[in-house]
C-alpha cells in the first residue's frame, strides 16, 4: 500500500510540476509583449502631440503620415511575419533518431545524412551542426533561438522590441523599420523645432500640459532617433558585407576553417540579397529578398560566385582566414 501511495504522490507532483512549467511559460509569453506595448504607446502618444498639439502645417503633417505609415507597416511586419519553416529534408525521421540514440558516435550518422544536403558550415569543433531541440540538421546560417524555441533561417538576433526573432523572413522589414524611424524622428524634430522653442520659453497655447508634451516629445524623438540611427548604421554595415549579428560575433566555419567573408559577393549583390533587385520595391515593406533562406552563394577570391565551399587554386579562402582570432562564445539564447 505504501508503494502505491508513493507512486500516486509522485504522479501528482509531476502533474503539478508540469502545470507550473506551462503556467510559467504562459506568463513569460505575456510579459514578452511589454516592450512592444511600450513602443506602441510611444508611437500613439507622439502622433497625438505632433498632429493635435503642435502647430504644424497640413503639408508637413501629410508627409509625416506617409513616413509614419511606412514605419508602422515595417514594424508590424517585423513582429508578425512567420518565419519560414526548416525544410523537411533537414529533419530526422523516427528511425534515424532511434539509430542516433543507439550510436556511441552520433557524428558518424549525421555526416552521412549531411552528404545529401546543401550544407557547408560546421560547428566550431568541426562537427555537423545538429539541433537536439528540433531534431534536425541545421541549414547554413541557421541557429536555434531558446526564446522562440525553434530554429530560424539566417538568424540575426532575437529582438525583445518586436517579440520575435529577426531572420531571413523579416530582416528586410526590420532594417526598413529602423530606417523610417530615423527619417520620422528627423522630420518631427525639424518641422517641430519652432514649437519646441516656443514651448521652452512657455508660449505654447498657455497650457502647461501642452508645453510638457511638446518638450518631452522632442526629447523622446531625439533619443529614439539616435538609438535607431546607431542600429541602422550597424545593420547597414552587416547588409553591405552580407553578415548577420551572430556571424559578426562568431564567423562561419567550413571544413577548411574560418572564413569571415564567406558570403561576401560584392556590395551591390549583398544588398540585393536583402532588398531585392527593384529599387522602388526595395524601400517598401514587401517581401523582395532573394533566395530561399536555405542555400546561399559563396564568394571566391577571383571574384566569381560559387555554390559550395570557396576554393582558389587548391587553397580555400577559409584557410587564408584560419589564423583569424576566434570571437567570444555566443549568448545563451542561441545555439551554434
Active-site residues: which are they? 159
Give the other-Cβ count within 10 Å of 197's Cβ: 13
Element housing 315 (H / E): strand 315-316
Query: Rounded to whole angstroms, how far apart are CA atoms 269 and 302?
Result: 16
Cell of 192: 517641430
CA distances from 115 to 60, 90, 119, 166, 235 (A): 59, 11, 8, 29, 33
Label each residue of 152-207 as H, E or C.
ECCCCEEECCCCEEECCCCHHHHHHHHHHHHHHHHHHHHHCHHHHHHHHCCCCCCC
Burial of 313 (0-12, 13-18, 19+ CB in 10 A): exposed
Query: Rounded to whole angstroms, how far apart are CA atoms 134 and 123?
Result: 17
Amino acid at each position: 500500500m505504501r508503494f502505491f501511495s508513493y507512486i500516486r504522490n509522485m504522479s501528482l507532483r509531476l502533474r503539478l510540476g508540469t502545470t507550473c512549467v506551462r503556467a510559467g511559460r504562459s506568463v513569460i509569453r505575456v510579459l514578452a509583449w511589454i516592450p512592444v506595448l511600450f513602443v506602441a504607446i510611444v508611437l500613439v502618444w507622439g502622433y497625438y502631440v505632433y498632429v493635435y498639439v503642435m502647430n504644424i502645417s497640413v503639408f508637413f503633417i501629410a508627409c509625416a503620415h506617409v513616413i509614419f505609415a511606412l514605419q508602422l507597416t515595417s514594424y508590424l511586419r517585423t513582429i508578425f511575419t512567420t518565419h519560414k519553416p526548416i525544410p523537411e529534408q533537414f529533419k530526422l525521421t523516427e528511425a534515424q533518431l532511434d539509430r542516433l540514440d543507439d550510436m556511441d558516435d552520433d557524428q558518424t550518422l549525421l555526416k552521412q545524412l549531411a552528404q545529401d544536403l546543401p550544407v557547408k558550415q560546421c560547428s566550431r569543433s568541426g562537427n555537423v551542426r545538429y539541433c537536439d531541440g528540433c531534431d534536425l540538421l541545421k541549414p547554413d546560417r541557421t541557429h536555434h533561438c531558446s526564446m522562440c524555441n525553434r530554429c530560424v533561417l539566417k538568424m540575426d538576433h532575437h529582438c525583445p522590441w518586436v517579440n520575435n526573432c529577426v531572420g531571413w523572413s523579416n530582416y528586410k522589414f526590420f532594417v526598413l523599420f529602423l530606417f523610417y524611424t530615423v527619417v520620422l524622428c528627423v522630420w518631427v524634430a525639424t518641422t517641430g523645432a519652432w514649437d519646441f522653442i516656443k514651448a521652452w520659453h512657455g508660449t505654447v497655447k498657455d497650457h502647461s500640459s501642452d508645453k510638457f508634451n511638446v518638450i518631452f516629445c522632442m526629447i523622446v524623438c531625439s533619443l529614439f532617433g539616435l538609438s535607431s540611427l546607431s542600429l541602422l548604421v550597424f545593420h547597414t554595415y552587416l547588409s553591405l558585407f552580407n553578415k548577420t549579428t551572430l556571424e559578426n560575433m562568431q564567423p562561419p566555419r567550413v571544413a577548411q576553417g574560418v572564413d569571415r567573408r564567406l558570403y561576401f559577393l560584392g556590395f551591390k549583390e549583398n544588398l540585393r540579397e536583402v532588398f531585392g533587385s527593384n529599387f522602388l520595391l526595395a524601400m517598401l515593406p514587401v517581401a523582395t529578398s532573394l533566395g530561399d533562406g536555405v542555400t546561399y552563394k559563396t564568394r571566391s577570391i577571383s571574384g566569381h560566385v560559387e555554390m559550395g565551399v570557396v576554393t582558389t587554386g587548391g587553397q580555400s579562402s577559409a584557410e587564408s582566414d584560419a589564423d583569424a582570432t576566434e570571437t567570444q562564445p555566443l549568448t545563451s539564447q542561441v545555439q551554434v
